Each structure stands twice: as C-alpha cells, then as structure tokens.
A and B are shown apart, each in its own frame.
Chain A
Amino acid sequence: MAGQFLAEISKKEQLTQDIFRLTLPVPEVAAAARPGQFVMVRSGKNLDPLLNRPFSLHQGMDDGRIQILFKVLGEGTRRLARQEVGDQITLIGPLGRGFSLPEPASRPCLVGGGMGIAPLFFLARELLRRHPAQVPELLLGARTAVEVRQLAAEFRLMGLDPLVATDDGTLGYKGLVTDLWPRLAESAQPRQVFCCGPHPMMAAVARHCAAENWPCQVSLETMMACGVAACLGCAIKGKQTAVSGDYLHVCKHGPVFEAQTIDWS
C-alpha cells in the first residue's frame, strides 16, 4: 500500500559539495517500506521542473523517519538540495518491488557504486536485524574518498567491514569496485549478491555472478515520469523482450530485479 504525504524535513546533512541527506518523519511510509523500494518526491508547487523525482529509500526507521540520499544532478535535485529543516516536501510511496531477503544459508554480499550505495544502507540494517550473526560482505566504489568516506564509516558502525575502491585511489583500492571481485571468488563460499550502482558496474557484477552461479539482485533506475505504473515511461529491456517484445517496467516490476532477467546489452 502506498500513499501520498506532505512531510517536513527534520534533518538536513551535506555530505559533500553535492551530496545531501534528508531525514523526514513519514510514519506510514517508514512502516510499510522495504529495502529496495523508492519514493517520488516534489519540493514546492512550481510548474517547472514539473515532475516528481525518484529516490531509493536510504533508510526506513522504526521511529517513523525515512531518509533519502541524493546527488545534485539537475534542476529537480538542485531545488531539493535548497530545502531546509522545516520545509515541506510531498512524497509518494513506498513504491516498487524491493529486495527479496535470503535464507541465512548463503552469505549476503552487498556491492554499491556511487549513489547506488544509498539503498544498500537500508538493506544492510534489515539483513542484520533478521540475522545478527550473519554480517553481510560489503564492497563500495566511488569516484573519490570524500564521496564514500562517511558512508563507509556509518556501515562500520553497523558492524560491517567495507572493502572500498575509489577511481583516484584516495581511499582504499585504486580502481573500480568490480576489480575487487577476485578477492570474493577466492573463498569459494556461495553468496547472494545485492547490487546497485552505475549501469556498467551492475552489468559486470551480473556477469561475475552468472559465472559463479550466485543469485544476484540489482536495483535499476531509469527515466520515469510518474513512478506509479501509469505513464509506462520506465520501460527497460529484459531477456524476454527479444522473444515476446514486452518490456519490463522499473517502477512496477522493479526497481529490484533478478540480474539474469535483464538484457544488459
């Protein structure tokens, strides 16, 4: 069940020059939300930019608060970043299909790149809540240290031990997060992988998981006008598209998908 809510920003954090985190009490959304779901957000009643913006849920807390974490990329996010504590935004959600959570038998492995790290936070908390003894593995990739340092520290506070890769080597390994893959494969322990990040990164992770025969879920994003399965704008190609012609819709069938159902070409 989703709904539309007017919420007041209770906390605003600026993690880097263009990465922001907003905390909002929206008990109905926090209560219903599952990791991997998203919300459609609008700040103000202006006609331009017109459309709501989708954000994955960074956190859904027991006390009724939710958090979204975003980077300023265009006018919509620029406007959202200008909001202050006490300002109201409208929120539609929780929306979409979230992550399916595994049986304790296979070790969860979270792989996040850039802003894809955002939904993995909520996921990590939920995994630990269900199986406190099974600490998920965590791989984090970012362009540079400042974009990932704080989040890595917060994951550590949860009890995880992130392996970090930065493009410029200012934190952790220098290179792509997918370069770290061989370290995982070394231990030959089966994993269930949860991945979110730039499209090429997820495609690479999907390939690796297929080779290892590890189940892999990815959280995709695409242009969407409505987020509620009305506009049909968020179509993406699945493996079935070449056969039946039908597309998948990110807001309805996703945003979380089994990696092997996606056409990565």
Chain B
Amino acid sequence: MTHGEKIDLSVKIGPLRLANPVLTASGTFGYGREFSDYLNLEQLGGVVVKGISLEPRAGNPPPRVVETPCGMLNAIGLENVGVNAFLRDKLPWLRGAGAPVVVNILGNRVEEYAELAARLDGVEGVAALEVNISCPNVKEGGVAFGTDPAMAAAVTRAVRAATKLPIIIKLSPNVTDIQLMARAVEEEGADAVSLINTLLGMAIDLRSRRPKLANVVGGLSGPAIKPVALRMVWQVAAAVKIPVIGIGGIMSATDALEFIVAGAHAIEVGTANFVNPGVTGEIVAGIRHYLGQEKLNSLAEVRGSLRLS
C-alpha cells in the first residue's frame, strides 16, 4: 500500500461527515447542475446551494456585479427560485450528483427561518442547513440579523427548534466583534459556523458620478478579502468549540490550507468558481498532494497548527 492510499481527507462537521474539507460557497455554484459540464460533483466534500427563501425572489435591478481590484462586488439581491421550486425542480438532480447537499436558507423574519428549517427537516438528500444571517430583520428596521448577537441567537434558537439537521450559521464579517457573534450562535445550538460572508463595499464611476451598482452598496468577495477572512477564522476558532468553516478569497489549495492552519475544519470556495469552474476539484487534489508531500495521513495535524512565538 502506497502512502497515498492512507491519506484521509474526511472531516466531521458536527454529526455531518464529509469526504473532504472542500465545499462550494452559496451563491457561486447555483444549484450544482450548472457546473456538471466542468467537474464531477462527486469530488466535492459538499455543495452549498444558492440561498433559498420561502417565496421566490427576483433579485435586484442591474447592474448587479462589478469587478474591483482582486475581487468583485455583488448586489444580486438573493434571487432564488423559492423553497417549493427548489424541492421540486433542483434537489432531485442534486441528490443524485454524489456530494452532500447543504441548503443555505435566508429570511427577513425569525419565523421565516424557522419555517424554512421545518420544511427542509427530514427531506431526503438534504444533509445540513447553512443559515445566512446577513439579511435585514424587517421587524427591527432592517438591521441585519448577523450584526446583533441577540438577533443572531434568536435565529439560531428558532432554527434549532425546528430541525434535527446539522446547522451551520454563516457569520457576517460586518461586525466589530466576530468572536462575540460566534459564541452567541454556539450557545443556541449551532453545530458549526461558516465565515466570512461578503464585506460591504461600493464602487463609483467617475465619468457618470454614479455608483456602479444599482443597489449602491454590495458584497465584496474574492482574493481581496482573504486577509480579513483568515483573521476572523483564526479568532473564531479560538473562541468556540464547534467546527469552523472558512470562506473568503480561496483560489487554491494553498489558500485552503492556510485557513485550516488557522483552525478551520473545512472551507468553502466561492468567487473562484466564476474564474475557474473546475477549481474545487483542483483544490481537493492539491490538499491531498500536500498531505502526501508532508507525509501526513490526515488534516488533524494541520488544523489549528498556527505557530505563535
């Protein structure tokens, strides 16, 4: 038996076991089928689908995307087919594609999150929920759930009560104290946290003196945000006991491994899918190659191995 065959890339996210630590980030991989021409989804640790709301959403008026240095801004507006159409039209194909399916859910009221969680509870093919709390809470004047520990806790508590599925809370980076947010959701029973979601940003067209996005502000993603994401993953991994899933500007296996060194159990690849639709397969292979080179059998020895002093 060669050393390569003993390499175990599997990771456990609460009760969820994944074959490897590489997942796709919500909003960058559609509902999976969009990428079937470019890679075999069986290679992935998991697919996190485009965020689903109770009702379909049409999204924001254009322009919705603009490139920025080493990244991009998006103000898509959470366009999605809604939970009914997702279950009827998207999940059947995805169920058979060979990767665990994590359904990202979003809402504007605590009750909406709970209802979505209840709808997806026990549905065959749904392995876990990822909860997008970077949405405005309309009951509290539109302040994002993810910027207030009590609101984030309320969403987590409501989702926890509504489902037995593993729950991953996706944290917003647009906060002063990310550790506080992470602890708040851990206390309410989150099985894991994923971070970061996009950073709020904007771009201006000098000639027209107008914002480049119709929505004025949007979410920044891509390599430009990796330093912020790495820092937050490192801080959160030190603050909570539940697994951390790292997201933010990952373009390569090296980037992914840096997040694991910082303490992440798994990672999500987002904007990189737009640049190279097959990138997630390459990252899995690259992580395996790294372990082989370092003569390691699993990621346990890499995880959280950042040396200080």
Interface residues of A (CB under 8 A from B): 1-4, 42, 47-52, 90, 92, 222-226, 228-237, 241, 244-247
Distance between Cα atoms of A66 and B119 in the complex (Å): 48
Q: Is B93 an interface residue (CB 8 A)?
A: no
Distance of A44 from chain B, by nearest CB (Å): 11
Tell me what chain B mostly uses at the interface: helix, strand, loop, or mixed: loop
- Do B38 and A225 touch across chains, with their CB atoms under 8 A apart? no
Distance between Cα atoms of A237 and B279 in the complex (Å): 32
User: B5-53: which have CB < 8 Å to A?
Assistant: 27-30, 34-35, 37-38, 50
Distance between Cα atoms of A134 and B32 in the complex (Å): 43
Chain B residues contacting A51 (CB-CB under 8 Å) are: 67, 72, 274-275
Extra pairs beyond A92-B277, A237-B62 (9, CB < 8 Å): A50-B71, A223-B65, A228-B35, A231-B65, A231-B274, A233-B76, A234-B65, A235-B60, A245-B58
Minimal Cβ-Cβ distance residue in A for B67: A51
Chain A residues contacting B29 (CB-CB under 8 Å) are: 230
Chain B residues contacting A232 (CB-CB under 8 Å) are: 27, 50, 59, 64, 76, 79
Q: Is B61 an interface residue (CB 8 A)?
A: yes
Q: Is B92 an interface residue (CB 8 A)?
A: no
A226 with B59, Cβ < 8 A, contacts A3-B38, A232-B79, A233-B74 known: no
Interface 0/1 of B97-129, CB less than 8 Å to A: 000000000000000000000000000000000
Distance of A147 from chain B, by nearest CB (Å): 22
Chain B residues contacting A4 (CB-CB under 8 Å) are: 38, 276-278
- Do B67 and A231 touch across chains, with their CB atoms under 8 A apart? no
Tell me what chain A mostly uses at the interface: helix, strand, loop, or mixed: loop
- Do B65 and A233 touch across chains, with their CB atoms under 8 A apart? yes
Chain A residues contacting B274 (CB-CB under 8 Å) are: 51-52, 225-226, 228, 230-231
- Do B222 and A3 touch across chains, with their CB atoms under 8 A apart? no
Distance of B297 from chain A, by nearest CB (Å): 31
Distance between Cα atoms of A244 and B27 in the complex (Å): 22
Chain A residues contacting B67 (CB-CB under 8 Å) are: 49-51, 225
A231 with B69, Cβ < 8 A, contacts A236-B62, A247-B58 known: no
Distance of A48 from chain B, by nearest CB (Å): 5
Distance between Cα atoms of A236 and B72 in the complex (Å): 19
Distance between Cα atoms of A244 and B59 in the complex (Å): 12
- Do B223 and A50 touch across chains, with their CB atoms under 8 A apart? yes
Q: Is B200 an interface residue (CB 8 A)?
A: no
Q: Is B273 an interface residue (CB 8 A)?
A: yes
What are 13 inter-chain pairs, A to B, with CB distance below 8 A? Answer: A4-B278, A42-B275, A50-B67, A50-B71, A50-B275, A225-B67, A228-B274, A230-B29, A230-B273, A230-B274, A232-B27, A232-B76, A237-B61
Chain B residues contacting A245 (CB-CB under 8 Å) are: 58
Distance between Cα atoms of A236 and B76 in the complex (Å): 12
Distance of B278 from chain A, by nearest CB (Å): 6
Q: Is B227 an interface residue (CB 8 A)?
A: no
Q: Is B172 an interface residue (CB 8 A)?
A: no
Chain A residues contacting B74 (CB-CB under 8 Å) are: 225, 231, 233
Distance between Cα atoms of A232 and B61 in the complex (Å): 11
6 nearest interchain CB pairs? A233-B65, A226-B274, A245-B58, A230-B30, A225-B65, A47-B223
Most chain B CB atoms below 10 A, which of A1, A4, A225: A225
- Do B59 and A231 touch across chains, with their CB atoms under 8 A apart? no
Distance of B74 from chain A, by nearest CB (Å): 6
Q: Is B96 an interface residue (CB 8 A)?
A: no
Distance between Cα atoms of A4 and B38 in the complex (Å): 7
- Do A50 and B65 touch across chains, with their CB atoms under 8 A apart? no
